[in-house]
Amino acid sequence: MSRTKSLVGGVVLATVALGVALIPQQASSRSAVSVPQDATAEPVPAFHSSVPAGQLPATMDPSLFTDPLAQNAYRLAARIKKVLYQQPCYCHCDRSQGHGSLLDCFVSKHAAACGICEREDFYAYEQTHQGKTGAQIREGIERGDWQGVDVKKYESPLPAHAK
């Protein structure tokens, strides 16, 4: 009987040790992997799923800003207002400033001081010119594809009427 107790005790001890050894390994492997936005993650920031029938608000005039990056972001935002209206903004200004979509960042001065807004705008502009719909662009933004935008090409002033 003491041999059976020793055997059972050894199995239990080995099982507990294995369980303890595996917990930190699983936790560290999760943090190293970039997990896409989904239902179990943080909710997607505010956006509109379609464009309203009426007029959208005007974006701020790019000439109000001295930084070429901000000027370019506002210039391009004015050209794709309907697309930006359908996009979330991952700086979470929906919480801090009550914004309803990425367009609101460019209706105010907010985007001029926010690299997230600018990158999402450049991403949306580039994707629009590749023929993507607002919903397809939103999927990319939710995946974090906007983080890969090369902002260096937007650091020099763009022509006022460039496509």
Q: Is residue 51 part of a domain?
A: no
141 and 66, same domain (yes or no)? yes
Residue of 90, 97, 70, 105 whose CA lies nearest to 138: 90
Q: What pLDDT, on the 0 to 100 scale, is given for residue 39?
A: 43
Residue type at position 132: K
Q: Is residue 37 part of a domain?
A: no
Q: Distance between CA atoms of 120 and 115, rounded to whole angstroms? A: 8
Q: Is residue 93 part of a domain?
A: yes
pTM over 0.75: no
Tell me the mean pLDDT in the region 93-110: 94
Q: Is residue 21 part of a domain?
A: yes
Q: Phi and psi at residue 124, in whole multiples of 5°?
A: -60, -40
Q: Phi and psi at residue 109, in whole multiples of 5°?
A: -80, -5
> Could you tell me the pLDDT band of residue 28, with boundaries at 50, 70 and 90?
very low
25 and 66, same domain (yes or no)? no
Q: Is residue 147 part of a domain?
A: yes
Q: What is the largest CA-CA distance in the chain?
A: 89
> Could you tell me the pLDDT band of residue 163, with boundaries at 50, 70 and 90?
low
Q: Is residue 162 part of a domain?
A: no
74 and 27, same domain (yes or no)? no
Residue 136 has pLDDT above 80, yes or no: yes
Q: What pLDDT, on the 0 to 100 scale, is given for residue 67?
A: 96
Mean pLDDT (the chain) is 81
- Structural domain for 13, as ranges: 1-31
Q: Phi and psi at residue 75, in whole multiples of 5°?
A: -60, -45
Residue 29 has pLDDT above 70, yes or no: no
End-to-end Cα, the chain, rounded Å? 85
Measuring CA to CA, how many Å separate 150 from each of 48, 123, 137, 153, 155?
26, 9, 17, 6, 10
74 and 135, same domain (yes or no)? yes
Q: Give the total number of structural domains in the chain.
A: 2
